Amino acid sequence: MKYIFSIFFLSLLGACIFFSCAKWKDPKPVNDPRLTNPYCNDPTAVNYNLGFPGKPDNTTCFYPSDLFAGSYLVHDSIYLSPSGLFIAADSFIINISKLSSTKIGIIGFCPSSKQLILTAGPTYVATVDTTVGDTATLNQGQTLCRIQDTLNGTISKDMVDSTLLHITLQVVSDTGISELVGIARKQ
């Protein structure tokens, strides 16, 4: 009798465990009428998930290259690196065009209308693409106005003043290394 009670108890315990481990079934989705706020559902957009929860609407998305597109008046200063000796100051107009959702092209740094290519990110920073050199090259970057000039650096969009860009570029040439630091205001 002692063994029959133990077998019955273990069988009951096994049955309880077996039936309690039934697979979960998700309930059918319900459209909530309160969720009417449109939000961007594209992870490559700057405003991804801004306004969530709501209804996904990718027409509200804007992309990193959209932040920079336009015509800007640049006020810059050029310093000799690493001494920081001031060399020159200049003002000129640049035009930034959208090439894709993350790529921008800049015309105006060179008199020959050479286009510089930058990659813009959702963090409001655009970085000069490396088209010259590789990991074994000392000066990676992009050819500037002359074949001897290699450019690298960043352009960042001001998060407070949407018309302002901060420019920090380094030019390595046959005559030395110079830093181009400046601001650009949208026209």
pLDDT for 144: 87
How does the average pLDDT of the chain come out, rounded?
Answer: 87
**151-161 pLDDT per residue, tens:** 999 999 999 99
* Distance from C-alpha of 100 to C-alpha of 175, rounded to nearest angstrom: 35
pLDDT for 100: 93
* Distance from C-alpha of 182 to C-alpha of 169, rounded to nearest angstrom: 9
- Domain at 65-186: CATH architecture: Beta Barrel (2.40)
Q: What are phi and psi of 17, to 5 degrees?
A: -65, -45
DSSP codes of every residue in 20-31: HTPPP-PPPP--
**17-58 pLDDT per residue, tens:** 777 766 778 888 777 777 888 999 999 899 998 888 888 888
Contact 70, 46 (CB under 8 A): no
For residue 169, how many other CB atoms are within 10 A of its CB? 21
Give the percent of the chain with pLDDT over 70: 95
**Among 13-17, 131-135, 162-166, whose mean pLDDT is lowest?**
131-135
Question: In the chain, what are the domain boundaries?
Answer: 28-62, 65-186
Asked if pLDDT for residue 1 goes beyond 70, the answer is no
* Distance from C-alpha of 164 to C-alpha of 124, rounded to nearest angstrom: 11
**102-135 pLDDT per residue, tens:** 999 999 988 888 899 999 999 999 999 987 766 6
pLDDT for 11: 85
For residue 73, how many other CB atoms are within 10 A of its CB? 14
Which of residues 36 and 66 earns the better pLDDT score? 66
- Give residues with Cβ within 8 angstroms of 77, minimum separation 6: 86, 88, 89, 180, 181, 182
pLDDT for 70: 95
pLDDT for 128: 93
Q: Which of 118, 90, 115, 116 is nearest to 184 (CA)?
A: 90
DSSP codes of every residue in 62-94: --HHHHH-EEEEEEEEEEEETTTEEEEEEEEEE
Mean pLDDT of 61-67: 92
141: left (phi over 0), alpha (psi -120 to 50) or beta: left
Give the percent of the chain with pLDDT over 90: 44
